[in-house]
Structure 1
Amino acid sequence: MIDLRAQGLRTFIPSRDFALSKAFYAALGCALEWSDDNLALFNLAGSRFYLQRHYVQEWAENSMLQIAVQDAAQCFKDVSALIAEGSFPGARVAPPRHEPYGAWVAYVWDPCGVLLHLVQWDQT
């Protein structure tokens, strides 16, 4: 086995409207660390991801990010209120539901269809 001596892992996610998606992730509390005309680096709780100015529908609608949260129900309320403001067309949210793998999950779709799993793990 190769030891990559890895020091981190970052994913790239698409955007159909780069400026809109940047604003959406910032509104969710992701800190923008760097950006140019085609790529933005966000930080959320010490984890980072890239948002890119590139869109392929099949890719966007099959991309997912799992975000561990303390309270999925409160996240649902907060994201619902954000989306209701009307600033993020295409974004939507579903109420939390209990999943068999031991978590309450509120599902959020960003403006281009990327699915966010806001996961509150069951306490054991």
Structure 2
Amino acid sequence: MKLSGKSIRTFIGAKDYTISRNFYNDLGFKEIVTSENMSYFCSGDFGFYLQDAYVKDWVDNSMVFFEVTDLKSTLTHIKSLNLTEKYDKVRLSEIVHNDWGSEFFLYDPSGILWHFGKFKAY
């Protein structure tokens, strides 16, 4: 049998679970509570699990790449949410252009680094 799948769902931690849940709801993900210490956050057919668990080395080294179809409008939308004003440790960059495509960065309240990007067409 060949390896065949339907989705990949990563698990990320939260320094303050309540603040992180609020952040991801404000960002626009739909939350599905799976237990008292874990929720599944989704956008369409994909998503991730947020856990009420914090291991500094793990969280400090966690990154998620979110591929989008329109990078500029995604950045404009995220800026309009004022997340950097609402949450102390949230940071948002401008678009960076690379050989492979373009991206911008968003740090969540725990320090998880999100890459929002669009690949070049080849």
TM-score in same-fold range (> 0.5): yes
Unaligned runs of 5+ in 2: none
Provide the aligned length of Structure 1 versus Structure 2: 122
Q: Which residue of 2 aligns with 1:86?
A: 85
Which amino acid is the alignment partner of residue 118 of structure 1? F
Unaligned runs of 5+ in 1: none
Change (3 A) 1:123 1:40: same
* Root-mean-square deviation over aligned CA pairs: 2.0
The list of structure 1 runs, each at least 4 consecutive aligned residues, that deviate by more than 4 angstroms after superposition, is 2-5
Change (3 A) 1:75 1:5: closer
Shift of 1:45: 2.5
State percent identity of aligned pairs: 27
- 1:53-64 → structure 2 map (5 Å cutoff): 53-64=52-63
- 1:100-111 → structure 2 map (5 Å cutoff): 100-101=99-100, 103-111=101-109
Q: Which residue of 1 aligns with 2:117?
A: 119
CA deviation digits over 1:43-90, x for unaligned, max 9? 112112100011122211211111111222222233233245622221
Change (3 A) 1:85 1:58: closer
Alpha-carbon distance between aligned partners in 1 of 2:77 and 2:57, rounded to the nearest angstrom: 28
CA deviation digits over 1:12-60, x for unaligned, max 9? 0011111111111112221112243210111112112100011122211
TM-score of the pair, normalised by structure 2: 0.86
Task: Tell which deviates more after alignment, 109-118 or 75-84.
Answer: 75-84
- 1:8-23 → structure 2 map (5 Å cutoff): 8-23=7-22
TM-score of the pair, normalised by structure 1: 0.84
Q: Is the 2:107–2:113 Cα contact (8 Å) retained in structure 1?
A: yes
Q: Secondary structure at the match of 2:77?
A: helix
Alpha-carbon distance between aligned partners in 2 of 1:57 and 1:121, rounded to the nearest angstrom: 31
Q: Is the 1:106–1:119 Cα contact (8 Å) retained in structure 2?
A: yes
Alpha-carbon distance between aligned partners in 1 of 2:70 and 2:60, rounded to the nearest angstrom: 25
